[in-house]
Structure 1
Amino acid sequence: MVRMEGVTPGFDDPLGVLRACHRRIAERLDLLERLPEYVELHGADASAQSAAQRVLNYFDRAAGNHHEDEEADLFPMLRRAKGRQGWDDAVPAALEQLTAEHERLARRWAQIRPSLASLARGEHTATLSTEALVRDYRAHMAVEDELILPVAAHVLDHGQLQRLGVAMQRRRGLSPRDSAGETAE
């Protein structure tokens, strides 16, 4: 299948959707990384407000769906695929680590969300500490991108990938038969 850079895969390629989510998360992390210094120099101007709102929009909605895609569907499928051709014995420990990290990432997000919400409303925030969330998310996604998704591509069969895509669509309120061409957020 030919993939064009910047084109989001559809749910018929659920692993591609997860990778695309990682790209969008990375873009928001880049914003978060630059935002504290920007706010220190320019205050809560329109650019800072817009950046804060983009981060809020993504992490309030799509990031939760992404974590649920993994914990409710992908990770259990991988656990059941243990021993198949392409399996890596590092996967079970990584899945436990990633699940625990989802909880830590949610706590870190809850810590910075109020400051971002204030900033999005144009209120200057004296403390916008994003380093821990940015660092932890990047390390988390690296394990998924370098171990979990490549193993999943080798050990999950077509039927499992199809079920994963359908579950992801339903989580987003889409009907599988009505979502031809729909992309994930």
Structure 2
Amino acid sequence: MNAHDSAADVPATTRVARPSRPPVPALPALDQLDRTHRQMLQTLEQLGQLVEHLDAHGVDATARATARTICAFFAEHARRHHADEETLVFPLLIARQDPGLTQHVLRLQQDHGWLEEDWLELAPQLQAVGEGYSWYEIDGLRHGVGVFTALYQEHIALEESMIYPAARREADAQAAADAASRAARHADLTA
């Protein structure tokens, strides 16, 4: 088409209608899961600082605000993050039938249960602090926070060092296979 031709002069090509299909649910990008890990580590650091603050100052406005923020994060964002991993990342890796990788995924699934258990023990004390009550036991709280934090740090380290890289490779391989399949179908339609 040159500058003097108009769109009306170019014959319209007909396109075969594509079949309708149900929408694909949006997958949270692994980058988003990584960002949540960074938020988790920051929130765990805040949690440790809160325990020290409570020990030094008791329940004050700072402790109340921090406790509410921490509770909201772990009750909402962390749980959603674990659910996304359980439904979108882990099945992809288990499907590979790699015994070593499967063992790591099973460990992480067990961690999710333990982290939830640990949170259910910590949450009532932190919710009370958020409401201005001081019926926590500082040494028990310090111990519980230490256990919770250590497990989360190990869990995140395993996911970021082994699980997420494997998931990225698997997703890339699947995307390449899907693209090749689409190209082959397109070639068949145009042949």
Shorter-chain TM-score: which interval? 0.7 to 0.9
Higher relative contact order by CA 8 Å / sep ≥ 6: 1 or 2?
Answer: 1
Comparing 137-146 with 33-42, greater Cα deviation is found at 33-42
Post-superposition shift, 1:158?
A: 7.5
Q: How does 1:94-133 map to 2 (within 5 A)?
A: 94-124=104-134, 125-127=136-138, 128-129=141-142, 130-133=145-148
Match for 1:60: what amino acid? A
The alignment partner of 1:157 has SS state of helix
Match for 1:126: what amino acid? E
Post-superposition shift, 1:82?
A: 4.5
Equivalent of 2:150, from 104, 128, 135?
Answer: 135
The alignment partner of 1:156 has SS state of helix
Aligned residues: 145
Match for 2:137: what amino acid? A
Query: CA–CA distance in 2 between the matches of 1:118 and 1:13?
Result: 33
Q: Alpha carbons of 1:81 and 1:141: their partners in 2 closer, same or farther (altered >3 Å)?
A: same
Q: How does 1:32-51 map to 2 (within 5 A)?
A: 32-51=47-66
Query: CA–CA distance in 2 between the matches of 1:20 and 1:73?
Result: 16
Structure showing the higher helix proportion among its residues: 2
Query: CA–CA distance in 1 between the matches of 2:82 and 2:107?
Result: 13
Deviations 1:139-184 (A, max 9, x none): 1111001110111111213867xxxxxxxxxxxxxxxxxxxxxxxx
Q: Give 4+ residue runs of structure 1 displaced > 6 Å after superposition.
A: none
Q: What's the Cα RMSD here?
A: 1.9
Query: CA–CA distance in 2 between the matches of 1:159 and 1:96?
Result: 22
Equivalent of 2:38, from 23, 30, 33?
Answer: 23
Q: Normalized against structure 2, the TM-score is what? A: 0.70
Unaligned runs of 5+ in 2: 1-25, 176-191
In structure 2, what is the equivalent of residue 81 of structure 1? Answer: 96
Match for 1:137: what amino acid? Y
Query: CA–CA distance in 2 between the matches of 1:16 and 1:95?
Result: 19
Aligned-pair identity in percent equals 28
